[in-house]
């Protein structure tokens, strides 16, 4: 069954193909639930770190705005929708398209926001993170992880699989710091929502954070939660707990880019029994990004955590804001890859990249009021 | 199909049988989700009002403790489980039994707690209510109602029906006040968790609340949200919104006693298009209560909102704490009736009252550590 499982052209696999096909064969045509965990850290307000927002200050509004878009189809905490400088729209547009077409239920989890979304959301009692440079970024990490585990168990009940994801500006920097503190990544391989990935700045910030935390590369290999407490963000703690809690019962799609790789690193570090029941669900844009290396990052965590990505292509889109995804902007976020992979899975492949693109165009016109 | 729908012996119907059987036939054997909305009001701390707690102060802990029991199977905010004076255990024991046997997913919604449960919960931005005697009990009622509507829409997605319920000590008094302000109830017909229903005290408190709010019986017939703001509780606002939001898409089981009748009154008052797609799901204990009249209350709201109750009988239970339900204690709460009705529906009647009783006994022994 597994070996001869036919993967549709909308999807591609990297890494352990046997594990990927085994999981796909178990959840193909089945029912899943989508969750998006939002959080702030003041790291995103350090000029140059994050482009998930038109200005450093606006990056704090991006998670709340993405959450409002997911639940309401419009934003309340800000005017318009989150955009990168240059007017490139949030990847939530693709996420919403995938959820609309598949009918998959979605829930927002607030891991710790400074700007709180104006919607009902799952609260885990978290507070927003500090700038990692202080070396003491996240409070109550163990509680966040434990409550994430409870949420994972809860959502696994009566569902065949769950998708977890994130919106946390500045998250690639905290993800890089956590993976380096754990020693699963030795050099900066993380992505950016900009084609001009500010690698030197991120590396300098992580070095400063390590100095102030009194840690070094790999020194927290055996204490993933401590790595989050020192140089991580609240999203990683909650989502890692969800992976561990849910994967005991059902497969978990870790939806997102290098930020979610840190979630995998922590989850595997806390309880590697999740391996074999999880894969990373992402986009072609991220996998093909020349400025990051998601395959190498995941391989550094565990050889049996495969990557399944959706072959979305915006190059023929009439909208420049979407074409920009092909030029290296955005690439991932708000579980756009994981939700697309989930929509294709739950529909037994009936939903295709063309269907998703058409719905993205419809949403894009509605949201940006284009005729 | 509807007319010849066979109701199993575990269930009975009161009120409009055609509507009841129509809804049952549409959701029989289908998939539902259970929600419990918890809140505090200082009304429960007025001596004599509530017995949902060993002392007036402990009644504030009861909703949080019930929520923790539902999610964790144990309490964190207090030692032991919520009990009435005399050691009668919370009806959550039956709710958990129904959820265990049916595998129905459950979610806790915090409408406004002073004592917050130590679990992940859905937050709607509410704050706890004042004592109704002040005549200005609940803040942000419109926001709570609107967010309830969003939650109803959200849970209706990818589910065939939803169950709503409550744990809000002192709630029969606020429910009575709201229904009288709306004029759907002219006299005190509400229930109590005690066989010695303190009717005179409740009536005096409601009269004082009406004086201080400057309202009279029926004066807020056209403004249900104002009735909640003056003399209600946060639970009613959120749950009424959920009824309106969810019933546009799927049937809604309003699980509970006279407190949930107030939810029906407000929902029907705000948008009576929900009628025909809702019924109250409760227990034989409540329907047979000599000190209240749920049938008359519902009839006063709308003739086409039927009542479906589970024929649980604890008279042969070896445990006095459970036998007490037959003597007029507890009767309802934490959606024990609605979740039992839902378990029977989702299992196409395979789950019976005997099955539920057996599971309640197992839980009772575990929770109270009885051999």
Size of interface A-B (CB pairs under 8 A): 61
- ipTM confidence: 0.94
Instruction: Pick the residue from chain A with its C-alpha nearest to B149.
Output: A120
The rounded mean pLDDT for chain A is: 95
Q: How far is CA B107 from the centre of its chain?
A: 14
- Chosen for mutation from B68, B120, B155 (greatest number of chain A CBs closer than 10 Å) is B120
Q: What is the pLDDT of residue A252?
A: 98
Output the CA angle A238-B102-B192, nearest 5 degrees: 90
Residue A65 in this model has a pLDDT that exceeds 80: yes
**How do residues A235-276 score in pLDDT, each as one tens digit?**
999 999 999 999 999 999 999 999 999 999 999 999 999 999
Q: What is the pLDDT of residue B2?
A: 52
Residues B38 and B166 sit within 8 Å (Cβ to Cβ): yes
Q: What is the pLDDT of residue A87?
A: 77
Residue A234 in this model has a pLDDT that exceeds 60: yes
The alpha-carbon gap from A52 to the nearest alpha carbon of chain B, in Å, equals: 26
Nearest Cα to B81, choosing from B95, B69, B94, B98? B69
Chain B residues with CB inside 8 Å of A33's CB?
158
Measure CB to CB from residue A120 to each of B72, B105, B151 and give the nearest one: B151
Q: What is the pLDDT of residue B371?
A: 60
> Which range, of A209-213, A329-333, B125-129, averages the lowest pLDDT?
A329-333
Tokens 């063309």 -> residue: A354
Instruction: Pick the residue from chain B with its C-alpha nearest to A102.
Output: B158
Chain A residues with CB inside 8 Å of B147's CB?
119-120
**How do residues B226-268 score in pLDDT, each as one tens digit?**
999 999 999 999 999 999 999 999 999 999 999 999 999 999 9
Q: What is the pLDDT of residue B178?
A: 98
| The pTM of the whole model exceeds 0.90 | yes
**How do residues A290-307 score in pLDDT, each as one tens digit?**
888 999 999 999 999 999
Residues B235 and B335 sit within 8 Å (Cβ to Cβ): no
Mean pLDDT of B5-22: 97
Mean pLDDT of A216-235: 98
The alpha-carbon gap from B149 to the nearest alpha carbon of chain A, in Å, equals: 10
Mean pLDDT of B272-291: 96
**How do residues A69-88 score in pLDDT, each as one tens digit?**
999 999 999 988 888 777 78
Q: What is the pLDDT of residue A282?
A: 98
Per-residue pLDDT band for A2 (boundaries 50, 70, 90) equals: low
Q: What is the pLDDT of residue A202?
A: 94
Q: What is the pLDDT of residue A368?
A: 75
The alpha-carbon gap from B326 to the nearest alpha carbon of chain A, in Å, equals: 33
Partner-chain contact B123 A119, CB within 8 Å: no
Chain A residues with CB inside 8 Å of B104's CB?
158
Residue A53 in this model has a pLDDT that exceeds 90: no
Output the CA angle B5-B9-B10, nearest 5 degrees: 110
Chain B residues with CB inside 8 Å of A110's CB?
123
**How do residues B24-52 score in pLDDT, each as one tens digit?**
999 999 999 999 999 999 999 999 999 88
Partner-chain contact A150 B103, CB within 8 Å: no
Query: Chain B residues within 8 A (CB-CB) of chain A?
Result: 31, 33, 71-72, 103-107, 109-110, 119-125, 147, 150-151, 154-155, 157-159
Per-residue pLDDT band for B316 (boundaries 50, 70, 90) equals: very high
Per-residue pLDDT band for B3 (boundaries 50, 70, 90) equals: low
Percent of chain B with pLDDT over 70: 99
Which residues make beta-bridge pairs with A11?
A: A310
Measure CB to CB from residue B150 to each of A104, A120, A123 and give the nearest one: A120
Q: What is the pLDDT of residue B1?
A: 47
Residues A128 and A42 sit within 8 Å (Cβ to Cβ): yes
């Amino acid at each position: 069954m597994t070996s001869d499982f036919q993967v549709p052209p909308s999807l591609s696999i990297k890494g352990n193909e046997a594990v990927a096909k085994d999981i796909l064969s178990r959840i193909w045509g089945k029912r899943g639930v989508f969750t998006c965990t939002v959080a702030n850290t003041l790291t995103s307000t350090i000029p140059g770190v994050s482009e998930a927002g038109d200005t450093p200050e606006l990056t704090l509004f991006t998670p709340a705005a993405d959450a409002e878009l997911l639940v309401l189809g419009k934003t309340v905490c800000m005017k318009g929708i989150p955009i990168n400088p240059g007017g490139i729209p949030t990847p939530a547009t693709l996420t919403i398209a995938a959820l609309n077409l598949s009918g998959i239920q979605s829930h927002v989890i607030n891991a710790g926001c400074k700007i709180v979304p104006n919607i009902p959301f799952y609260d885990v009692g978290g507070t927003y993170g500090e700038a990692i440079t202080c070396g003491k970024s996240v409070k109550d990490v163990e509680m966040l992880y434990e409550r994430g585990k409870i949420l994972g168990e809860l959502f696994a009940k009566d569902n065949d699989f769950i998708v977890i994801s994130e919106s946390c500006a500045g998250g690639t920097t905290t993800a890089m710091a956590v993976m380096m503190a754990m020693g699963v990544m030795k050099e900066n391989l993380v992505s950016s929502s900009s084609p001009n990935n500010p690698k030197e700045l991120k590396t300098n910030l992580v070095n400063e954070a390590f100095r102030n935390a009194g840690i070094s590369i790999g020194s927290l290999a055996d204490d993933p939660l401590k790595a989050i407490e020192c140089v991580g963000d609240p999203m990683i703690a909650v989502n890692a707990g969800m992976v561990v809690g849910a994967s005991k019962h059902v497969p978990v799609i870790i939806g997102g880019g290098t930020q979610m790789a840190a979630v995998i690193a922590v989850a595997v570090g806390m309880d590697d029994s999740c391996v074999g029941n999880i894969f990373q669900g992402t986009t072609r844009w991220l996998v093909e990004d020349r400025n990051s290396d998601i395959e190498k990052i995941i391989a550094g965590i565990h050889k049996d955590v495969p990557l399944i990505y959706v072959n979305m292509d915006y190059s023929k889109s009439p909208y420049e804001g979407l074409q920009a995804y092909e030029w290296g902007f955005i690439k991932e976020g708000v579980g756009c890859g994981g939700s697309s992979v989930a929509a294709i899975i739950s529909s037994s492949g009936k939903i295709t990249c063309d269907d998703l693109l058409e719905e993205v165009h419809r949403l894009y016109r509605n949201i940006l009021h284009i005729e």
